[in-house]
Structures are given as C-alpha cells and as structure tokens.
Amino acid sequence: MKLIDALAVIRRPLPGNAPFLRVSLACGFTPLHFETFLTAALRERSSAERVEITTGLFGDLAGNIEGIRPAGCDALVAVLEWQDLDLRLGVRNLGGWRVAELPDIVKSAQRMLARLEKAILTAAASIPTYISLPTLPLPPLFTTPSQQASAYELELRQALSTFAASLATQTRIRILSASHLDEISPPSNRFDVQSELLAGFPYQLSHASALAELLAALIRNPSPKKGLITDLDDTLWSGILGENGVDGVSWHIDQKAHIHGLYQQLLASLASAGILTAVASKNEPALVQQAFEREDLLIDKQSLYPIDVHWGPKSESVRRILKTWNIAADSVIFIDDSPMELAEVKAVFPEMEFLLFPKTDYQAFWQLLRRLRDAFGKAIVSEEDSIRLDSIRAAAALEKSSNGEGTSLDSFLQDAKASVTIAFGKEKEDHRAFELINKTNQFNLNGKRLTESSWMAYFNDPTTFLMTVSYEDKYGALGKIAVLLGRMGGKAATIDYWVMSCRAFSRRIEHQCLGWLFENLDLQEIGFAYQPTDRNKPIQDFLAGIAATPLPTDVRVSRADFAEKCPPLFHQAKATVNA
C-alpha cells in the first residue's frame, strides 16, 4: 500500500456506533508513517472497526511495554529494532564500536532482552500481544567483513532467537515470521538512514507498509479453512488407478512422482492437526479400497473421511461430504488435476476454493503446498483437533443407527452410554472455549464473537461464569463441544453466549446443560441474550421447544417450564466446579 492510499483508507467514514479496536503500539522509534500504515492495514482487514492506535515515548521500548494499561487495550504490538536492545546497535547514538566494547554490547542486549521478555509476559497475561523482531540490518560495528558473520553478531542473534522461541510458546503471543517478511520486503531495501537520522523514523515507506500489513494480518487473521477434498488419480498419486493398477500408481522420487508423496505428507500433517480431509474420486470403489491397503502410502486411510468413490459427478460427492462434515462450502478447499472437474464442482459450490493440482509444474506445486499451509494454518493444535475426525465418524454411525427401523431416539441415546463432563467456573485461559465461541455458527445463541481482550474483560465482572461441556459415548469422545458464558443474579441467570459444536447435535446435550444449571445453581429462571441469525436455526428450534413461540429476543425459561418440556436425559453427568 502506498502512503497516499493509506491516508485515504484511514479517512474512510465509519458509522457512529462502530466498535473500537484499540491498539497499543510499542516501539523505540518515531512511529510516524508506520502508525498510518498499521491503522490503514487494520481498517482494510476489519472495515467496520474504528482503529485507535496509541504510542509511547521515543527511545524507550521496554518502558512503553511496561507502562501498558490493559483496560481499554485490545492488542499490544511491539516492534523491536536492534537499537532497542542497546543504543550502540543503532546509528543515532555515538556510544562507540571499539573492539573492546563489543562484549559489553552483547551483554547489555541480553539484559535488555530479559527485561523485555518479563514486560511482554506481564502484558500478554491480559492483552493479546504481537511482536516483530528486528527487521533492519545491524550497523557495521563488527570487525569482520560483511560476508563473514562475527561471533558477536551470532551471539546477539542467538539471544534474540531464544527470547522469541520462549515467547512463542505463550498462547496469547504471536511472533511475526521474519522469513515471510523477507519475501515481501527485501532486507536491503528497508533502512532509510536519512529519515532515521533526521526524523527518528528508520523505515523506507515500502518496508513500513509491508511490516504493517503482516502485523495487521496477525491481529485480524482470517478464519482458517476447515476441510480439504482431494482427487486421487494424478493428484494424491501419480497415474490412473483404472489403467495402471494398484501397483502402477506411484508417489516416489525414483518414478518422478515425488510431488505426490509430498502432497500426501502435507495432507497427513493437516489431518493430524484436525483438518478434515476427504476424497472425491471417479473410480472403481473396490480398486480404491485395494490402493489404500498399500503400506507405503504416506497418509493413513483412517485420516481420510469420507472416501466418496463412484462414476457420477463429483459435485454429488462434495454434497455428501459437506453433509457428513456438517460445515459450509466456504470453509473447504477442493483439489483436482482436472480443470473440468474443478469447473463442474465450482458451478454447484461457487463459494468453495478450488486449486488445480499442477502435476508437471514443480514451482506451481510448491506454491500449492504453501497455499494449503496458509489456508489451514492455526496457532494452536488442541486436543479436540486430534479427535475431530473420529467424532464425525461417530456422529455418522450414530445417525445411521438412529435411522434404523424399529428404533427410537430415546432407545439410541439410552444405549449410547453417554457421559457429559461439565466444568463450571472462570477458566479464562481455556483456548478451546474461546475458539468455539468464535467459530460456531449453527447452535449459536446470537452469533456474537469475542476478541481476546473482550473475552478477558468479560470475566472481570464478578457475577460472570464460564461453563464448558465435554462429551463421550460408546461411539467415541467428542471432546469439549459446548460453551456457555453467563451472569448470575440471585435465583436467575442470564446466558450471554452459548455455542455447541454441530458434531454434538441430537444428543440432548443442550437440555443437559440447562438442567444442570437449574439444578446445581438452584435457579428459578434462565434468560437468554438470544438473537436470530442467518445460520443459527438449530438453537432457534431448541429454544422454541422450551420457550414461547414465536421467540422474543428476551427469551426466558422458568424451572417449571423446563422440567415440563425437557425430554428424558440418559447421560451420566460429572462436574467440576471452580471458585
């Protein structure tokens, strides 16, 4: 983005009631155009938010971070440069670059990194924190020629890496990828010496823009895709199964089919991180079954579900797969080597993302791998991610069973040997609960999302509580699948947020949640901050079943009404209550 465009973006009008995104920008330089670029990049990514950036004092990065006040701050952005670690690592101060001074510069930088780490950890306890490590070149203070790394320089970089690796393990801290920045902002075009010396602003405009764009992408990152549907022939493997046979298809380097092996490897990695992966292939089912028995496959057959193989249009497969996964088409990527197949599915599901498998173009294949990692990238892999596919299989099995003849839902649920584990308290470090609130659409009380800072702030009210629900039955564990956030008020409670994973539908877990609240909190009434959305019909139907119809926005359910309308529950309920 050019500066003139950034200025135009930040002046775009906003509605008077636009919510604020308040960002504390901590840096040791004059923020000048970087502040403009960051504001504009955030506005571009979140056009409905009023971005407000506050900055600190020149030359005092650590002090600026230590002085952050969490109240009213949605994000902390810390932009480090070498001179923040020791002024002699910059060009505005003349502290000396003599050989004898180099060890002290390194030690002083290490001390400052320790101070910064402490300050950042303190801030990140209450505010989501985004960090850019030094992006500018070190000045020529070492005795070695520029093509040779000095031991002192390596010590400095080692200290910085240790600092960053330690912080990166924290859930509320994100470190900007230096290698990604290198790709879009060449290191040799970043430093503006004149501007640094005369104005205290060290960046070329193009670099300030690139850095701001990436930080904005960290702060307001798009939701990752949830599912990948792949073709088999000339995609998952090289060759045509029906022509080459089970032993004729390949993915090994000696058959010049290595890119298919790499593709399998990436898919296995995605599946292990909880990404849903399925197959849509025009093939002979029995032959595909045999091919998946090959022991040299790099992706386990169990990681691919469903495997939908037939000779009909692939859009039919995609429809069935989406129904099994119960996710929307816009959360899915479809990959095939045939432009015709891509076009056929696209005509039916235009909102899906389509990628051509480039079987002969290695560079395009490399870009495909990178695109997949970006599209499905997530900061944290949770326990629920690892059991997601199993729970979808279990749900499919449950549905198949419950659709059988001569059976009722009651008898199936009774036979399911289900247990529900409720955690009640204020465990605000629960990343899975936060994630569910922000990605669940169907069983969602009002469609409202929470930023990390508003999540933290919610629990500052002493009357609020967090309830999470985990579920398991004989078909398998679903993990943590429901979250309620509410407030107590005597014999009544108000539920402000309530979401439940679609994988947990049809098990009466929602009834169990309310039943537990009535019983264990001795409530006479529960109110719901309900709002209809385009996608929350499941919760509309549920509330309509226990409250008045049509639903008012101020939904209230009495203990007596709930007891009358609640169907039989067969779960074994366990609970942990934290103060």
Q: What is the Cα–Cα distance from 578 to 575, expressed in whole angstroms?
A: 10
CB closer to other proteins, 34 vs 434? 34
The distance of closest approach from Cβ of residue 26 to other proteins in the complex, given in angstroms and rounded to an integer, is: 20
* Least spacing, CB of residue 53 vs other proteins, in Å: 15
The nearer residue to other proteins, 13 or 490, going by C-beta atoms, is 13
Q: Please say which residue, 4 or 340, places its beta carbon nearer to other proteins.
A: 4
Pick the stretch among 7-15, 19-27, 512-520, 526-534 that binds other proteins (CB under 8 A): 7-15
Distances, alpha carbon 469 to alpha carbons 422, 482, 499, in Å: 5, 5, 10
Which of 36, 129 has the CB closer to other proteins?
A: 36
Question: Minimum Å distance from CB 250 to other proteins?
Answer: 52
Nearer CB in complex with other proteins: 2/323:
2
Classify the C-alpha dihedral 120-220-2-133 as positive or negative: positive
- DSSP character for 11? T
- Of residues 241-270, which lie at the interface with other proteins (CB under 8 A)? none
Contacts to other proteins from residues 287-346, by CB under 8 A: none
What residues from 192 to 231 belong to the interface with other proteins (CB under 8 A)? 194-195, 198-199, 205
Contact mark string toward other proteins, 12..41, x via CB under 8 A: --------------------xx--x-----
When asked if residue 11 is in the footprint of other proteins (CB under 8 A), the reply is yes
Instruction: Give the residue with the Cβ less far from other proteins, 27 or 160.
Output: 27
Please identify, among the stretches 4-12, 63-71, 292-300, 400-408, the one whose residues bind other proteins according to the rule CB under 8 A.
4-12
Residues belonging to the chain: 579
Tell me the C-alpha distance between 128 and 299, whole Å: 36
DSSP 518: H
Alpha-carbon torsion angle 62, 125, 121, 218, nearest 10: -80
- Provide the minimum distance between the beta carbon of 213 and other proteins in the complex, in angstroms, as a whole number: 16
**Maximum separation of any 2 CA atoms in the chain, in Å:** 89
CB of 199 or CB of 381, closer to other proteins = 199
Give the x/- contact pattern for other proteins in 83-112, rule: CB under 8 A. ------------------------------
CA distance 449 to 455: 9
Residues 353-382 that bind other proteins (CB under 8 A): none
| Nearest distance, CB of residue 209 and other proteins, angstroms | 10
Is residue 199 within 8 A of residue 30, CB to CB? The reply is: yes
# chain residues binding other proteins, by CB under 8 A: 14
Question: Which C-beta is closer to other proteins: that of 6 or that of 270?
Answer: 6
- β-strand 476-489 against 464-473: which pairing, if any? antiparallel
Return the number of the residue (201 or 292) whose C-beta is nearest other proteins.
201
When the beta carbons of 185 and 468 are compared against other proteins, the nearer one is 185
C-alpha separations of 494 from 180, 415, 497, 547 in Å = 45, 33, 9, 15
Segment contacting other proteins by CB under 8 A, of 131-139, 190-198, 288-296, 421-429 = 190-198
- Sequence-separated (6 or more) residues with CB below 8 Å from residue 208: 33, 34, 37
Rounded to whole angstroms, how far apart are CA atoms 212 and 217?
9
Q: Are 240 and 290 in contact (CB under 8 A)?
A: no
* Residue 55 engages other proteins in binding (rule: CB under 8 A): no
CB of 194 to other proteins, least distance (A): 6
Site string for other proteins, 141-180 (x = CB under 8 A): ----------------------------------------
Is omega for the bond preceding 128 within 30 degrees of 0, making it cis? no
**For other proteins, the closer CB: 195 or 468:** 195
Is the distance from CB of 544 to CB of 563 less than 8 angstroms? no
Q: Which is nearer to other proteins, 13 or 404 (CB)?
A: 13
Q: For the CA atoms of 438, 443, 444, 445, what is the dihedral angle to 10 degrees?
A: -160
What is the nearest approach in angstroms of other proteins to the Cβ of residue 127?
Answer: 27
Where residue 353 falls (left for φ over 0; alpha for ψ -120 to 50; beta otherwise) is beta
Catalogue the E-assigned strands of 519-566: 525-529, 554-558
Backbone angles phi, psi at 282, to 5 degrees: -90, 105
Among the residue ranges 6-14, 170-178, 314-322, 522-530, the one whose residues contact other proteins (CB under 8 A): 6-14
Q: 8 or 380, CB closer to other proteins? A: 8
List, in order, residues 6 or more apart from 118 with CB less than 8 Å away. none
In a 13 Å sphere around the CA of 210, the CA atoms on its Cβ side amount to 19
The least distance separating other proteins from the CB of residue 76, rounded to whole angstroms, comes to 24
Cα–Cα distance, 433 to 385 (Å, whole number): 13
Determine if 2 is a binding residue for other proteins (CB under 8 A): yes
Binding site for other proteins (CB under 8 A): 2-4, 7-8, 11, 32-33, 36, 194-195, 198-199, 205
